[in-house]
Structure 1
Amino acid sequence: MFSILLAVVAGVLLAATLLARSPLTWWWIRACEFPRLQLATLAALTALLALLASPPWSWVALGASLVTLVLQVARILPWTPFWPVQVRRAEPGQEARCLTLLVANVLTPNRNAEALTRLIHAHRPDLVLTLESDAWWQAQLDAALDEEWPHAVRVPLDNLYGMHLHARRPLVDPEVRWLIQDDIPSIHAGVTLPSGEVVRLHALHPRPPAPNESEESLWRDAELLLVGKAIHDDPVPTLVAGDLNDVAWSRTTRLFCRVSGMLDPRRGRGMVSTFHADIPLLRWPLDHVFTSEHFTLKAMRRLPHIGSDHFPMLVTLCYRPARADEHETPEADAEEHRDARETIAEGKQRDQTE
């Protein structure tokens, strides 16, 4: 019985691994992309246990486990220190061209605003981006930040998709857009560096594929790819930040990077998993900061618990267009650009209530 059960477990792990490779957008298929590290760990464990099982089931368990382990490790390896970095390290002496961004999904019911504002005042970022912030959170943030972060874009909502952007220096042409769904906002603005130069920021929080949110990932995917296409069409120095409700190694996020040419500071450095803050065994990188080739990375870290189910993320990037050629910018081929256009068109056309 032990041997049969082990083979069944190994088969389930392999099935989840193969499902994640499917292009289908149903939430339960896309969910298989998230726990790759966990699936790899379980596959390694079942491979070891297979040595104690009886044939022929031991061979089934061992074979399925090893295939799962190889496929999962191959996908997550770029987000470990064993891979070359994608965003080059910043050199010292460029402080006037550096920008520190704090991203925090606060969790709307969470009322521990002091924990977040204490971190903000301790690290003094140039930009503070909050997700899931409603009118209550707006009042707390305004009271704590208005003096030192006087420039703000406020979108208080009680549907878990409110967002607020606070900045030390002026924002240029800030705009709130509803890209794919009319209840999901995004913020787009020029950000003034200490040097006076201006770079572009897109702040996003698309709806996740989940049974209580969205039966498919289509609308999340369409929003990410729509922004990616806009970046590709106008390749100015750009940052994309937010809770993307997608992991760094997913099919959609990797396509977004190829379509847009954006770089992931996590690659070659580590996962910096920001969700789930309360369940250590179920963590993956959901909150992101992507950069165009014009930036180098000075620092990136996960900040302490603030009472949310997400950890805040703090990233310092330096605007160094002279070093752009040092980066290997990802590029989409013609088929991938076509896939992106079709996803965007379908996301705009189809209503989620269908």
Structure 2
Amino acid sequence: MWTFYLSLTFLLLILTILPKIQHSHWVFRVPEFGKIQITFFTVVTFILGFFVSHSEYLWYFQGLLILMFIHHSIILIKYTPLYPVKKFSQKYKSSDKVHFISVNVYQFNTEYDRFIELIEKCKPDMFLTMESNGDWEKALRKLEKEYPFQHKVTLENTYGIHFYSKLKIESSQTHYFVADDIPSIEAHLKTEDGFSFVFFGVHPPPPSPTEEETSKERDGDLLSAAKRITE
């Protein structure tokens, strides 16, 4: 049990340290996607520590787990209701709230009606689908009456992307920032009360053994979109 406890502790430590190393290979970037799971297993391992043999070194490792938990919690708490959000007063040219849904539908998923029911239930002002191919585009046609403004990039490589809006799209374009088969959408919209804003929809490839060996394309796509936003 002590060996198992130590193995878990060192594995969690490695997964915590790897993203801190400035390297684009997927080995260093993948742990960034598992912070919730890493935090959960950190707590589980800490509790497990009270059931292992009482080694004189136990609290050195328990203290290490506490530090790792604090480290991950500082990052994760920003995405919870516990974190205070700065509220800005509405300006003269501001519009009402805009409700938006973004979903990775998974290209090979055929539960089209389930997604359509979600949209009909939540009634967002606009929504974005990722990994949507030709079959998904056909299935979503029944929503086009309710969402008369669209920008579609239909692909069969799991990087298709479709944008539907109740708000008027004054202009839109497709960007290929890092590769000619990985699109991003830029749409200029206007609300009913005349407030204009720009929407960007991106779906960069994640660094992983089955996608991209490094995070260069993901980082490049996000940085290119950010640069475009500031222009």
Give TM-score, length-normalised by structure 2: 0.90
Residues 1:13 and 2:12 aligned together:
yes
Distance 2:212 2:46 in 1: 35
Task: Give, in angstroms, the shift of residue 95 of structure 1.
Answer: 10
Residue 65 of structure 1 corresponds to which residue in structure 2?
65
1:46–1:61 contact (8 Å) kept in structure 2: no
SS in structure 2 at match of 1:199 = strand
TM-score, length-normalised on structure 1?
0.60
Any idea what SS the aligned residue of 1:34 has? helix
**C-alpha distance in 1 between matches for 2:222 and 2:16:** 23
Deviations 1:158-208 (A, max 9, x none): 100001111223212210111111110011010121212211001111111
Report if the CA contact (8 A) 1:4-1:57 is conserved: no
Instruction: Kindly report which structure 2 residues correspond to 1:124-139, keeping only aligned pairs within 5 A, or say none.
Output: 124-139=123-138
Quickly say closer, same or farther: Cα 1:96–1:41, change in 2 above 3 A.
Answer: closer
Confirm or deny: 8 A CA contact 1:127 1:167 kept in the other structure. Answer: yes
1:170 is aligned to 2:168: yes
Larger RCO, structures 1/2 (Cα 8 Å, 6+ apart):
1
1:98 aligned counterpart, secondary structure:
coil
Match of 2:46 in 1: 47
Letter of the aligned partner of 2:68 in structure 1? T
Secondary structure at the counterpart of residue 222 of structure 1: helix
Deviation at 1:96, TM superposition (A): 5.8
Equivalent in the alignment of 2:76: 76
Regions of 4+ moved over 6 Å: none
Specify the structure having the higher radius of gyration (Cα): 2
Residue 123 (structure 1) aligns with: 122
Structure-1 separation of matches of 2:40 and 2:175: 41
- Contact kept, 8 Å, 1:11 with 1:64, in 2: the verdict is no
Q: Which residue of 1 aligns with 2:34?
A: 35
Per the TM alignment, residue 216 of structure 1 is displaced from its structure 2 partner at its CA by 0.8
% of aligned pairs identical? 27
| Aligned match of 1:254 | none
Q: Which runs of 5+ in 1 are unaligned?
A: 235-354
Q: Distance in 2 between matches of 1:39 and 1:22?
A: 17
Q: Is the 8 A contact 1:3 1:57 kept in 2?
A: no
What's the secondary structure of 1:10's corresponding residue? Answer: helix
Separation in 2, partners of 1:37, 1:169: 35
The answer to whether the Cα contact below 8 Å between 1:8 and 1:61 also exists between their aligned partners in 2 is no
Unaligned runs of 5+ in 2: none
Question: Counterpart of 1:126 in structure 2: which amino acid?
Answer: D
Query: Against the structure 1 CA distance between its residues 90 and 104, is the aligned structure 2 distance closer, same or farther, given a 3 Å change threshold?
Result: farther
Q: CA RMSD in A?
A: 2.1
**Inter-partner Cα distance in structure 1 for 2:206 and 2:108:** 18
Conserved 8 A contact 1:7-1:57: no
C-alpha distance after superposition, 1:217-274 (max 9, x if no partner): 1110111112112223x3xxxxxxxxxxxxxxxxxxxxxxxxxxxxxxxxxxxxxxxx
| Secondary structure of 2:66 counterpart | helix
Query: Distance between the aligned counterparts of 1:150 and 1:42, measured in 2?
Result: 46
Aligned partner of 1:146 in structure 2 is 144
